[in-house]
Structure 1
Amino acid sequence: MSPILFNLLLRSIGETVIMTLASGLISLLIGLPLGIILIATDRGGLFQNRPVNLALGGLVNAFRSVPFIILLVALIPLTRLIVGTSIGTMAAIVPLSIAAIPYYARMAAVSLREVDRGLIEAARSIGASRWTIIREVIVPESLPGLTAGFTVTLVTLIGASAMAGAVGAGGLGDLAIRYGYQRFETGVMVAVVAVLIVLVCGMQWVGDHITRRVDHR
């Protein structure tokens, strides 16, 4: 691989990491509260409200059901409105975040729902408020599952960011398409695949390590 291509590879790795971490953080900040609302408003929840739960659940399912490549194109007007352009790393963060938020919200809801009902009832019996139960019981008890789900979300975002390269988002996907595929640079394609494998394995290892650390069961 020539020095020029090597420099492009390094830049593409940085772009992929930025896209993944930025959209992952946004999915955590918005997806976790959504997951909490989904389980809190569900039947038997702390703030049971079926109309709100059905509406929010339907919205989450609607976005989850749209393939990312279609969502990427459909959100071009919104992306231009937010960042002023539809191409580049910053532009890709918008559709990546919108795709990841409902994905993580559902994963978070699954983890939050698995909390032992006995713990919740015990907290209620000593007079804990509903928000205190969520903050002090449900979320802490769900941390292993929430962390594992967030790790899976980040790994999924790595693959989605590579797909976003097909429409000029930059990153490893763009490098693989422009040089590995269109210019028949086999070395570039092999390098991109190898880097993606390392990124995924590394992120999964870190996530698994953190999950074990927060699991006190």
Structure 2
Amino acid sequence: MLPASKSTSLFRLRRIEDLPKLTVPQLSSVVSKAVQNKHTDRAFWYLLALRVQHLSSILNPQDYCHIMSGIATSDSVLKDTALRAIMSSLIDSASKKLQLFSPSQVSVLAEISANVELYRESLFTGILPVWAAKRSFVDASSVMRICRAYRKLNVLDEEVLDEVVRYVKNSAFDMSPEDLCEVLDTFAFLSYRSKSL
């Protein structure tokens, strides 16, 4: 039986059979602990991802980012076809709610997608509308995540990269020299030539 505690930070998963009963806050706590303990059991991650998929209609952007980034740290995601299919489904379900995401959260999803080597068109075609609508909330870490994701998945989307250029031109002093070099390296890797840079 799961403990009836108001504090989810104290939640401890007792048995793998309890995964199908977890609430979103409990899932978040379990993911944090599993990542912290470098948990590698494929069945555990698969059942956890299934539960996340079941609850996806009530997940908010922060939940998606936290839980999916935890699942993405598991080596199982790269090795287990069923788990990869669930991650694809989770990325697609998050993509249906992208208008609720901040540019930072969208870039986290893109980075998660790249880290598990899953290109999902539903996500990558949704990045530009979020960034264009919420341009004032784009920050250096979001730009760097997008660059890393696009480079790792070899995605050339000139409109999104134009947004990166716009940010760099307006906020270069907010970026480190290493970050600026990484942006340029990404452009070179993707053979992207900006007309305005």
TM-score (normalizing by structure 1): 0.21
Structure with the higher fraction of residues in helix conformation = 1
Q: Structure 2-normalised TM-score?
A: 0.23
Larger Rg belongs to: 1
